[in-house]
Amino acid sequence: MKLEKIESKIAVLPVDNIDTDQIIPARYLKSISKEGLGEGLFRDWRLNADGTPKADFVLNKPEAKGVQILVTGDNFGCGSSREHAPWALVQNGIHAVISTSFADIFKGNALKNQLLPVVVPADAHAELLKSPWATVKIDLVAQTVTLPSGRAVEFPIDAFAKTCLVEGVDELGYMIQQEPAIAAFEAKRVGSVNTLR
């Protein structure tokens, strides 16, 4: 699958440090497949104890239908390394999260799952926070976000991750091609740890 452009209304969740336990609680981690994880997305923020939706949670609003972009506070995705977090977001149609920063492991996991972690400067972020449900365009090739005001701001992305997303490069396939280098490295390695059995 390739990912180049996203154009969508934005859902705004103005909370800093949203951790992966909120994105998907641990009790959804017993699955041995990826199926059905979407149900766990923001489970305890989204639903009441009796399973009814909380009307005031942003993704439960009628406007949230079809939203592909989530705007959040700083340091999104901190906490556990669970890749279930990006899986659950993508299963709910979210393909980009815009913030001022992301936790390292989450960012890496997102990029492997057609989910763009988009870091924008503080002023652009402030504009987005004030514009819930406005339409925003993300152009991955140009690395720009077009804000509701029409202003376009650039965002950084790892060059290799971008190539993988835009051209649909299979990262593992790329690594496997380097097998001769891996074998050579192992052969010449001094003090390698071959002591485990």
Partner 1 sequence: MKPRTIVEKIWDSHVVAEKPGAPALLYIDLHLTHEVTSPQAFSMLRERGLKVRRPDLTIATMDHSTPTTSRDLPMLDTVGKAQLDQMEKNCKDFGIRLYDLKTTKQGIVHVIGPEQGLTQPGMTIVCGDSHTATHGAFGALAFGIGTSQVGHVFATQCLLQTPSKSYAIRVEGALKPGVSAKDIILAVIAKIGIGGGTGTVFEYQGSTIRSLSMEERMTICNMSIEGGARAGLVAPDDTTYQYINGREFAPKGADWDAALARWKQLPTDQGAQYAKELTLDASTLEPMVTFGTNPGMGIPISGSIPDPASMSDPIEKSDLIKALKYMDLEPGRQLKGHKIDVVFVGSCTNSRISDLRAAASVMKGRKVNPSVRMLVVPGSMQVKKQAEAEGLDKIFREAGADFREAGCSMCLAMNGDQLEPGEYSVSTSNRNFEGRQGKGGRTFLASPLTAAASAVTGVVTDVRTLL
Q: Give me the residues that bind partner 1 (CB under 8 A), please.
A: 14-17, 19, 21-22, 25-27, 29-34, 44, 49, 73-75, 78-83, 101-105, 108-109, 112-113, 158-160, 163, 171-172, 174-176, 178-179, 181-182, 185-186, 189-197
Bridge partners of residue 153, in order along the sequence: 145
* CA angle (27, 95, 66) in 5-degree steps: 90
Residue with Cβ nearer partner 1 (1 or 190) = 190
CB of 112 to partner 1, least distance (A): 4
Residue with Cβ nearer partner 1 (27 or 65) = 27
Maximum distance among all Cα pairs of the chain, rounded to whole angstroms? 62
Residue with Cβ nearer partner 1 (74 or 139) = 74
69-72 vs 96-99, strand pairing mode: parallel
CB of 75 to partner 1, least distance (A): 4
Q: How far is CA 118 from CA 9, 30, 78, 110, 172, in A?
A: 15, 30, 15, 10, 23
CB of 132 to partner 1, least distance (A): 15
CA quadruple 165, 170, 172, 176: dihedral sign: negative
Residue with Cβ nearer partner 1 (149 or 177) = 177
Beta strands in 90-194 (DSSP E): 96-99, 116-119, 135-139, 144-146, 152-154
CB of 181 to partner 1, least distance (A): 4
Structure tokens at 28: 């959804």
CB of 148 to partner 1, least distance (A): 19
Residue with Cβ nearer partner 1 (150 or 194) = 194
